[in-house]
């Protein structure tokens, strides 16, 4: 079995987590973690559980492709994560992933109330961020 990748959709309240399959072809959402002081410890636990070799974190860029204040918050999180885990972290443009997550869930006939659940959206967005990275790598 190969090592997997972990995708993160960072939010100030919740963080969506996705993992790849062992061949690094398909991403799937696995959980949503509340953004608290326990966040990095939870990610470390998940990284160990799934034998993660690389982490892909969504970076919120504006329409011009530039970083704003939210992106700096994510960069701060990445620095803390790198210091704690020692795993390679790559950044992935996350523009439009929330809209795409809503559309994907609707297309999957997920009920309206579940689609409105922010946790469901965050988990799906993390899978889309990771899948975008995997697709770019030709995995």
Domains of the chain: 4-137 (3.30.420.140)
Instruction: Decide: 59 and 95 in contact? Cβ < 8 Å.
Output: no
pLDDT, position 101:
64
Q: What is the pTM of this model?
A: 0.85
pLDDT digits (tens, 9 = 90+) for 66-97: 888 889 999 999 999 999 999 999 999 887 67
Report the 10 Å Cβ neighbour count for 124: 27
Between 114 and 118, residue with greater pLDDT: 118
User: Does the pLDDT at position 24 exceed 80?
Assistant: yes
pLDDT average, residue stretch 127-133: 95
Residue 104, φ and ψ in degrees, nearest 5: -60, -45
Instruction: Provide the CA 90 distance to its chain's centre, in angstroms.
Output: 11
Token pair 């204040």: residue: 69
């Amino acid at each position: 079995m190969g090592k997997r990748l972990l995708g993160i959709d960072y939010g100030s309240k919740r963080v969506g987590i996705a993992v790849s399959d062992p061949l690094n072809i398909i991403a799937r959402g696995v959980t949503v973690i509340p953004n608290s002081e326990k966040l990095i410890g939870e990610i470390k636990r998940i990284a160990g559980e799934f034998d993660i070799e690389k982490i892909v974190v969504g970076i919120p860029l504006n329409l011009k492709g530039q970083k704003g204040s939210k992106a700096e918050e994510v960069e701060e999180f990445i620095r803390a994560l790198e210091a704690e885990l020692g795993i390679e972290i790559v950044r992935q443009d996350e523009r439009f992933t929330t809209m795409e997550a809503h559309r994907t869930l609707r297309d999957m006939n997920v009920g309206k109330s579940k689609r409105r659940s922010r946790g469901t959206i965050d988990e799906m967005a993390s899978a889309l961020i990771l899948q975008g990275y995997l697709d770019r790598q030709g995995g």
